[in-house]
Every structure is written in C-alpha cells, then in structure tokens.
Structure 1
Amino acid sequence: MKCTSIALAAAAALALAACGGTTSAISSTSSTDANALPQLAAATPGTLAGNCAALATKLSFANTVFTTITDVPAGTLKVAGKSIAEHCLIQGNMNQRVSSVDGKTYAIGFEMRLPLAWNGRFFYQANGGLDGNIVTATGEIGGGGPTNDALNMGFAVISSDAGHSSTQNPLFGLDPQARVDYGYNAVATLTPMAKQVIKLAYGKGPDRSYFDGCSNGGRHAMVAAARSSAEYDGIIAGDPGFHLPKAAIGEMWSAQQLATVASANTSSGLPDITTGFTAAERQMVASKILSKCDALDGVSDGMIEDIKACQANFSLANDVPTCTNDVRDGTCLTSAQKVAIGNVFSGARNSTGSALYASFPYDAGLGAGWSAWKQANSITLDPAAAAFTFTTLPQSASVLSQLSAYALNFSMDNDAPKIFATGGVYTESSWSFMTPPDETNLSALKQRGAKLMVYHGTSDPVFSSNDTTAWYQQLMAANGGDASNFARLYTIAGMNHCSGGPSADQFDMLTPMIAWVEQGKAPDSVIATARDASSATPNSDVPSNWGTGRTRPLCPYPKVARYTGGSVDSASSFTCS
C-alpha cells in the first residue's frame, strides 16, 4: 500500500498504519504553503527481543527458507579499523525454482544483519555489476574507502544476489524470470520479507527505510525510486547505470572505435584496443584538458569543477597536438586517433547518426580506471551482458567464448534495437525490466516526503555523467523547474566509476540523507576527501602534489564548487554557486 501526502497531523496515525510504521513516523508541516511536502519524523531506536537463537524460532515468510541464523560477536567485522558491534546474521533464499528454459536452479539469495542495539532504520544494500553474489551486509555507503557503514551506525541491513548465483553469470540471462529478478523483482520481493523479519526481531517494523547502491546498485536505487516509492524514505544512487542496456552498447561502440586505431593485434588476431589509446597518450590528453579547464572554477588545482564550461573550452582537435607523419610517441595523437577518440566521447551512434547512448564529458580522470572499462570490460563484461541479458532473443551460450569478437562486430543498426525487443518466452524487454518506468515521474516518492540523492563522477567511463545530468534536467522540468526539495544531483570532479580517479572520492551521503529525511535539513553540500598517501585506503590516482587530506564540497547541480580564496586543499575555500 502506498503512503500519500498528508497535510494534517490528525491524519498521521491513520496513514502510518497503512505504511507499517509507528504513529510518530510523520510530523505535521508547520508551513502554510499548500504545496509543502510532508516532513517524515525521526526513527526511534529499539533492542533485539531476546537473542539470535530465540529469533530463529519466530522467522517465517512465504516461499522463504532461512538457512542460517547465528550470533556474530563484536569485533568479528570491522570497517575502517572500527569493530562492528554484536549482531545477528540471517541468511536464506526465496522463490527457489528450476528453470524450464535452461534447467538450472534459481533462487533469490539474501543476507541480513540485525544489530542488538537498533537505530530503528532499515538499509537495502544494492549490488553492482551482474549481481550474483551475496556480499557481506554491512551497508556500504558509497564512495572510495568509506570510514563507516550502515550496520555500524545501527541499521538493520540486507544484501542479495538479485536472483542468481555468480556461477550462473552471465548465462542467467537465458532464463526470463532471472532477467526480471535482476532488473527489479528481487528488490520488490525481498523488501516486505526484510521488514517482516525486522518486525519479528524488534517488535516493530522500521520507522525509516533507506536504499543505497553504486553502478548497477545505483540503477537498482533509481528503479526503487520509481517502483518501490512507498517502501523507501531515502534513496542514494551512485554513478547510476539506469540506462544500462544503452551503456553496454556504448561500451562496445567505444571498443569498435579504438579498434580502428589499434597498432597491434591480440593473440586471437583481433585488434588490441589498449594500443589504440595508450597510457602515455591518455595522460597527455588529460594534461591538455586540465590546461584548458582547470582554472574555470577560479583556481588551478588539478580538479575541473565546472565541467560544463570545460566542454565549451576544450577541443580535442585543436588543443591536442597532431602527430607529424603519424609518428606516435605519447606527446600527440594521429588524425585517425582524434576521430576515433572523439567518437568515444561523443557517444554511440547508428549509421544514420542517431544517438544510441549519451556523450561523455572530457575530464582529467583518464588513468587506469578509465582504461579498465573502455579497454577491457568493453570486450568482456559488457558484451556478456548484452548477449545474454539485454538483447532478445539472447545469443547462444557458445558466444561466451567469443565475447571480444561479438563486441567488435556488434551492429549499431541491427543489434542495438534488440534491447527493446521481446519474443517467445521473453515477454519483457531489457529496456522494460532494467530501467525505471516513467523515470522523471517521481511524484509518489516526492509526495510521501521521501528524498533522493544522486552522485556521479564526471570521469566515469561506463555510465556517463552527461546522461545523469540530462535526466536531472528533465526531472527539474517535470517539477516546475526545480526538483531540489526532494531530489538532488552531485557531480564529482575527476572521479571514475564509483571511486578512483584524481578526485575527492571519500564521502558519506547517508548521514546528510538521514538529516534531510528525518529533520528537514536539505544537504546544500556534502564534504568529500581525497584519499592521498596518508589515507588508510589510499587512491593511487591522487596526485602527489596535492596537499594532505584535501577536501571539497560536492555541490547540488547546477551549482559548482568555486574558489573564493584560502588553501586550495580546504573545502572552506570553495562555495557552491
């Protein structure tokens, strides 16, 4: 059942009964503005009723098998050197079945961790990639080298494999139900079960529920904002691949472009795309981008905060030297390379010039993280996803041994439209089960008083920050030109895919999200830290000439962090404007 907008405090108790919360879960707004959104009340803590062994006798849910219920002593798990308190570990699976298509056994596997001292909140930890693994349910909160997690903060946390095991990757896409579970159904199925487990454990359901994930986990988060708007109060979507089928096409397009300028072949006789744009050439291009764009935010500090202005100022054709006689020495690009690399950044197109995925902004993060996606995953992971999960009908399993060839021969005219196709037992297209339906209509989430925070690295090489920015612009338009009262986007200068790159990539968005949801304190900026050599989890992409512990404000779009004076390594020297 969906919670609706509530204007009168007297209606709160009735509405909350429908939502499964407590009678304190919504506070009346004090504003006289008829358009004011509901203010959700703060969660109240609880304590595990009895112990893990006692809980084992209570657990029951339809089509669910609880395989493990055990106590985890304090200190067994750690985050950033901190011991996580004693908690209960619950493992199990839902909806086990044997596929009529491939004969394999499938189930939605999950893990929950319930702290003895509970803060009254629930946290869904979404996986990345092709899923298939039940990662430790500590409640990872995004960014690089996190210093805390949701479990340590007192949340009850769940993680899952989204309906298939890693041993079934990537061929799980041959099973139509496994496709749908991966796309959206695992979240929809697990959420009510998890809330019921929490109610049995603590004597009440969660007062507030949060969702967090990056990459495919960010896609899960964006889908949850649309499909599960009644279930979650705060959703954090990092580098979201919410157009993942198109992004996979974009990756194969990039591989094809780099193949045209490869200077060597692999052992299998295919173009070695790593030679199409070498590490030295990538470093040189990054330096040219910085020289044109670094100071546009007010200071030359190795970070391009005004990414939009950069695109208007930098020209690959004019600002990067052209090699004389096509002699490549790392200080220039050949004319053919400029065409190919320009095509990589301008985004996938078919033969008529129609865009198949978004363009990518030129930015400074062209190191190993960029290469890992554009020059490795683009001929391994992405074609595997496209061949078996994103296109209909799926390819034969024999393609699994020929993924590079499949990627380099993928037709932008004939194969790309298959992400919208259905056929036979595949009654739902990947575009339907992978993406948020009606993605700019988040009115149900908004009118409940729930919030959405999205972040995206501007050097992300697989999911374009331009794509996410375009979505946010459309969301703004759908909400009278301003969506900031319930949804905010933060772009992160230099950050690669979810972390890494010459960037301040260590941040906590969960704490400001709680303050926004439960106290009405909108996050006008989020402080991020660069993980230099002194960090407990250093990021090798951070330049050695940056000051120790550099911090930056992450600003809500369309604002940009601009230098106002003082130390270039301090967030206080910048303002969001």
Structure 2
Amino acid sequence: MQARTFPASASAAAILLLLAGCGGGDDNSAPAAQSNATTSILASSGCAGVTKVSLPGVTIQSATEVAAGTVRPSGVTTGDFLPAHCVVRGVADPYIGTDNLDHAIGFELRLPTAWSGQFMFQGGGGNDGTLAPAMGTNTGALAASAGTGAYALARGFAVVSTDGGHQGTDAASYGKDARARTDHAYNAYDRTAQIAKSLIAQYYGRNAEHSYFLGCSGGGRQGMMFSQRFPSYFDGIVASAPAMKVSSGASIAAAWDSQQYRAIAPPDASGNPILANAFSNADLALVSKGVLDACDAKDGAVDGMVQDPASCGFDPAVLQCSGAKTDSCLSAVQVSALQKAFAGPRDSAGNALYSSWPWDAGISNAGWRSWKLGSSQTATPDSRYVTLIQNAMAYEFFTPFDANFDIFKFNFDTDPARLAAYSAVYDTYRTTDLTPYTSHGGKMIFFHGGSDPIFSANDTIDYYKRLATTAGGMANAQSFARLFVVPGMNHCSGGPATDAYDGLAAIVNWVEKGTAPDSVPARSTASFAGRSRPLCAYPKTAHYTGSGNIEDAANFVCQ
C-alpha cells in the first residue's frame, strides 16, 4: 500500500476519509487461520521450523527455543521460571514512509510447548514503538505478589505483542506519516492478530480454542478498538484504564491541568514557574487526608481507602489557609487550581471538553505527581503530560502535525478542532453498540483506578452508563460487560490501593465457565500490608460488615 501524506490545507473531513481508507479498516470477519493442519510444525520440525513459514508481507526474523527453568519474566527475580516455549520475532509490511523513515509492524509471539489451547494478545501503551516481551502481562500489580504465575505464558497461553507499527517512542518517529498513524490507530493490531492466529494454527496443527486481549492505558484503548472494529477476533477483552478519549479529551485535560498548575507555581530566580512546586508533597498529603476525612468512613471502615470515590463530595476549600501558607493548609490559589482541574477542562463558553475527576486518596502518591506535576526543580517541566502527551498531540493527535506545539499555549476554544480528524479514527468512546462483539458471546471487563491521573475513572463510568443505555439497561450490559473501579489506584497500578488482582482469571472464568464476576479478589502490594478487598462490579461498592478484621476481604460485601 502506498504511503499517504496530508497537505496542510486538507479539510478534517478529507483527512478522515484518507485515514479510514488506510490499513485493515473495519472488518468483522475472523482472522485467517490454517486450521486442522495434518502435521504441526511443533511435531515435525519444532521451534526452528517456524522460520520456514511463508505468510504474505511477513518476514520471520528468528525463532528461538527457550528451555524450561531458564527464564523468568522481566522484573521477577525469584520463584518459578517460565515453561519451555518458542520465541518468534518478525516484521510485517515494511515500507519507507513519506517522512523518509523505515516503518514496519514488529511482533513477538511466544508459543509454549505444553499449550493450553488459549491465545492472548498483550496490549501496548503510551506511544508504543517498542516490542515488549510477549509473556502475557496480567492486570494491576499482580506480578508484584504472584510472580511468574501471574503471566499468561506460564498458564499455557500462546501470547503475542506488537510495537504498534513503528519503532521509537517519540511520536515524531511515526506521526508525520499517514500510514504509520493508521497502523498505530488499528491496522498494526489487526495484522498482528491475523499473523499470530495463523502461526499458532500451523505450529500446533489446530486453532486456538479461546482468544483473549488484555491491556491497560493505550492497551485498554486497543482492546476497545478490537471489540468495535474487529469484533470476531476475541472471546474476552480486559480493558484497563482505557485511553478511549485520549486524542480528543484526556489530552485536552492534560493541557488544562498543566496550565492551571503552572499558573500558580512559584518562580525560579529568573521569574520562570517551576511546575513541580505548584504543590509540595506535604500539600498533596494534606489533600489526601482531607479526602479521607470527608469520605473514608462512608463504607463503614476507616481504613485509608474511599471505596466509592465517585460519590465523595470533598471540596478543597476546607483546607484553605486563614492566614499565611503553611504545611497544614493550602493557599487560595492552590485551592482554586484544584477546583478547576478536578472539574475538568472547559472552553470559554463553559462547555465541558472532558469529564471531571473523582476525589480519591491516591493524589498523594508518586504516580499522580509524575503525570500532573513531575519533579523537575527547574523551569523545564518533566511531568508526563509534557514529556508524553504534548509529544503525542504535536505529532499524532493534531492534523496536520505541529512540531512547535506548546501544551502551555493550548487554546481551549480553537485547538480542539485540530484533534477531531484523528480522534474519529483513534478514539473509541463513541461506539456503545457492541452487538457485533457480543453476538458470538464476547465478554468485556473494565478496570480503572480511582486516582488515575491521566484517564479519569469518571470518564469510564460515563462510558459504561452509555453502554448500558444502548443495551437496554444495566442488567443487559452486565450480561456482557463489567466495570471495576479500584479505590486509591493510580494509572494501571500503584497508589494506596488493593492493586493486585487477576483480571485474566476473571475473563477466562466468564468466557469458558460462564461465571460472571460480581467481584474480583484484590490484595495490596505496598501501602497496606496483608490487606485484601473485593473489587465490586459497578455500580456496587465494597462495604464493611461491621465485624471482623478490616484487613480481610471476607468481612466486606458488595452492595
């Protein structure tokens, strides 16, 4: 396919048509797979035989056998090793873009010798651009407590990952090329799924019996994209902290918050504001305590967690100093900045441009700071809003791209229109009719941290409510989709939370055993030693029964 470029004068509608015409497009058919093979590669020639497979547009670069008892997942230093498996790496559809850079869809597929018959697509995140080891990353921080056993590969799944169709995490490395932008939106994932299913069928001599997708953040968006564009590909999807409105909502909120907080930040010796110092760690701890004072006891247990942050009516005005600023109070400008930021971005006419944010105790965690404020003690900020979101907006989300974009100069009246064309292709919040996905029994689980600093849990709650309306009511929606808000959790994991939970087991049990998850067992990995809680399917939340150890999930019910 010939690469395409967008002239600066192109209209949004014309650009949308060009983008929609690239790549795999909307395809409801299942990926091609070679089923019922008479002789499997595994039986005939083993791992090395994969290098001889011929697929259109695909180059198998390597197929390496990994012996049992020799490799653990990255970051796991003790305990069990991964089972024997074959690591296949390759590229698909290489081309030279209009940006004169080499582009291709990179993938890694791991094929266990003792295969369970299950397949998992491991979602990416951020700007993608790197090929993560396809070991089957689970949800939350489960690996921190469960180690190797948390990974799908250790459970016998074949697992695939992709770099999203480009090499390099800087959006400038792909955002200037129309085809690369489309690959990152959906085509790279479509192609990777097709390639993986075909290789699996040839390697084992049979198709996967059940197929799953798990991802967080950008990976959560990818899961939602599959349910909408390619609804036949997966039986179960887990979309955590889904970036469903990233290119036209959360990115605007990133600009809004950055501007609100920098406007009150103390200056350096030259008079330039230091964003990280808009709030000290003591200030954020004070806000966290204020939230807990106002809302912690509502679930029956004073335990440092707000089980229903969406219902917390906290107002930071109660923390405002009556005199000089001290560590025990907030200045008037700090209070005002928090109120404006948590209410969500608006244009000059007062129209909301993204959702509000729930008040939750995780605001004092390092994960919240890293996204909103950063830690740089200079006038050059290092918040992830600036280092990641500004970069993505400049080179991918804007049409045409704008290499000189400054997030602190985003215009909330005129700049949202510059995001519209790509949002129509990339964002996934608009589609609430999932009938093509659910008609073959497809199930979906959402997880979202109450203190997520980049994608608001309120936005996912809003989507779930709209999903229920389209489905004809909450009961109908719960027959195929469940939402779990994780109190205190930051982005994907971390925070004062019970952030270790097995989303893979939850979706497998639902798809293969018909057991819908009314609750998901969760444990704390850091903040609360020995604590467990049930994560409750929305709209229910966990409540203490009034007796027994408050560290034990057995003494909480979902209501």
TM-score category (smaller protein):
0.7 to 0.9
CA contact (8 A) 1:234 1:514 kept: yes
TM-score normalised over the length of structure 2: 0.87
Alignment of structure 1 residues 282-361 onto 2, 5 Å: 282-311=284-313, 314-317=314-317, 319-320=318-319, 322-325=320-323, 327-361=324-358
Specify the SS of the correspondent of 1:510: helix
CA contact (8 A) 1:249 1:386 kept: no
Tell me if 1:132 matches 2:129. yes
Deviation at 1:316, TM superposition (A): 1.8
- Relative to structure 1, the CA distance from residue 90 to residue 266 in structure 2 (aligned partners, 3 Å threshold; closer, same or farther) is farther
CA contact (8 A) 1:262 1:275 kept: yes
Tell me if 1:551 matches 2:549. no
Specify the SS of the correspondent of 1:441: coil
CA contact (8 A) 2:118 2:209 kept: yes
Tell me if 1:381 matches 2:388. yes
Partner amino acid, structure 2, of 1:520: G
Partner amino acid, structure 1, of 2:541: V
- Relative to structure 1, the CA distance from residue 76 to residue 433 in structure 2 (aligned partners, 3 Å threshold; closer, same or farther) is farther
Tell me if 1:390 matches 2:397. yes
Q: Which residue of 1 aligns with 2:376?
A: none
Deviation at 1:308, TM superposition (A): 2.9
Summarize deviations over 1:174-207 as a string: whole Å, max 9, x none: 1111111111111111111110000110001111
Deviation at 1:357, TM superposition (A): 1.1
Alignment of structure 1 residues 450-469 onto 2, 5 Å: 450-469=442-461
Tell me if 1:409 matches 2:409. yes
- Relative to structure 1, the CA distance from residue 59 to residue 435 in structure 2 (aligned partners, 3 Å threshold; closer, same or farther) is same
Q: Which residue of 2 aligns with 1:257?
A: 260
Deviation at 1:224, TM superposition (A): 1.1
Q: Which residue of 2 aligns with 1:484?
A: 478
Q: Which residue of 2 aligns with 1:521?
A: 515
- Relative to structure 1, the CA distance from residue 499 to residue 53 in structure 2 (aligned partners, 3 Å threshold; closer, same or farther) is closer
CA contact (8 A) 2:33 2:194 kept: no
Structure 1 residue aligned with 2:191, among 169, 179, 189? 189
For 2:48 and 2:332, the matched residues in 1 are separated by 71
- Relative to structure 1, the CA distance from residue 18 to residue 164 in structure 2 (aligned partners, 3 Å threshold; closer, same or farther) is closer
- Relative to structure 1, the CA distance from residue 219 to residue 121 in structure 2 (aligned partners, 3 Å threshold; closer, same or farther) is same
Unaligned runs of 5+ in 2: 1-26, 374-382
Deviation at 1:52, TM superposition (A): 3.4
CA contact (8 A) 1:211 1:236 kept: yes
- Relative to structure 1, the CA distance from residue 331 to residue 489 in structure 2 (aligned partners, 3 Å threshold; closer, same or farther) is same
Q: Which residue of 2 aligns with 1:68?
A: 62
For 1:566 and 1:441, the matched residues in 2 are separated by 43
- Relative to structure 1, the CA distance from residue 469 to residue 92 in structure 2 (aligned partners, 3 Å threshold; closer, same or farther) is same
Structure 1 residue aligned with 2:90, among 78, 89, 92? 92
For 1:511 and 1:49, the matched residues in 2 are separated by 29
For 2:516 and 2:33, the matched residues in 1 are separated by 24
- Relative to structure 1, the CA distance from residue 168 to residue 92 in structure 2 (aligned partners, 3 Å threshold; closer, same or farther) is farther
Deviation at 1:171, TM superposition (A): 3.6
Tell me if 1:199 matches 2:204. no
Deviation at 1:395, TM superposition (A): 0.9
Q: Which residue of 1 aligns with 2:168?
A: 166
For 2:229 and 2:113, the matched residues in 1 are separated by 31
Summarize deviations over 1:79-116 as a string: whole Å, max 9, x none: 4532101100100100100012x110100001000000
Q: Which residue of 2 aligns with 1:11?
A: none
Q: Which residue of 2 aligns with 1:248?
A: 251
Unaligned runs of 5+ in 1: 4-15, 23-45, 421-428, 532-538
Deviation at 1:17, TM superposition (A): 12
- Relative to structure 1, the CA distance from residue 221 to residue 256 in structure 2 (aligned partners, 3 Å threshold; closer, same or farther) is same
Q: Which residue of 1 aligns with 2:558?
A: 576
Q: What is the Cα-based RMSD across aligned positions, in Å? A: 2.0
Q: Which residue of 1 aligns with 2:541?
A: 560
For 1:257 and 1:518, the matched residues in 2 are separated by 48
- Relative to structure 1, the CA distance from residue 349 to residue 17 in structure 2 (aligned partners, 3 Å threshold; closer, same or farther) is closer
CA contact (8 A) 1:99 1:105 kept: yes
Deviation at 1:445, TM superposition (A): 1.2
Tell me if 1:111 matches 2:93. no
Deviation at 1:379, TM superposition (A): 1.8
Tell me if 1:511 matches 2:505. yes
Summarize deviations over 1:461-489 as a string: whole Å, max 9, x none: 10000000000001111111120010000
Deviation at 1:389, TM superposition (A): 0.5
For 1:294 and 1:167, the matched residues in 2 are separated by 39
Deviation at 1:265, TM superposition (A): 3.7
Greater Cα offset, 549-558 or 272-281: 272-281
Q: Which residue of 2 aligns with 1:123?
A: 120
- Relative to structure 1, the CA distance from residue 192 to residue 18 in structure 2 (aligned partners, 3 Å threshold; closer, same or farther) is closer
Deviation at 1:51, TM superposition (A): 4.6
Q: Which residue of 1 aligns with 2:423?
A: 431
Alignment of structure 1 residues 229-240 onto 2, 5 Å: 229-240=231-242
- Relative to structure 1, the CA distance from residue 130 to residue 459 in structure 2 (aligned partners, 3 Å threshold; closer, same or farther) is same
Deviation at 1:232, TM superposition (A): 0.3
CA contact (8 A) 1:553 1:576 kept: yes
Deviation at 1:270, TM superposition (A): 4.0
Deviation at 1:167, TM superposition (A): 5.9
Summarize deviations over 1:285-328 as a string: whole Å, max 9, x none: 110110110010111111100223313xx2222x22x2244x32
- Relative to structure 1, the CA distance from residue 48 to residue 525 in structure 2 (aligned partners, 3 Å threshold; closer, same or farther) is farther
- Relative to structure 1, the CA distance from residue 258 to residue 213 in structure 2 (aligned partners, 3 Å threshold; closer, same or farther) is same
For 2:536 and 2:35, the matched residues in 1 are separated by 33
TM-score normalised over the length of structure 1: 0.85
Partner amino acid, structure 2, of 1:369: G
Specify the SS of the correspondent of 2:252: helix
Deviation at 1:58, TM superposition (A): 4.2
CA contact (8 A) 1:223 1:437 kept: no
* Structure 1 consecutive aligned stretches of length 4 or more whose deviation exceeds 4 Å: 16-22
Tell me if 1:475 matches 2:460. no
CA contact (8 A) 1:559 1:576 kept: yes
Deviation at 1:432, TM superposition (A): 1.9
CA contact (8 A) 2:28 2:230 kept: no
Deviation at 1:334, TM superposition (A): 1.5
For 1:171 and 1:353, the matched residues in 2 are separated by 36
Deviation at 1:436, TM superposition (A): 2.3
For 2:45 and 2:282, the matched residues in 1 are separated by 58
Deviation at 1:169, TM superposition (A): 3.6
CA contact (8 A) 1:130 1:170 kept: no
Q: Which residue of 1 aligns with 2:380?
A: none
Partner amino acid, structure 2, of 1:117: A
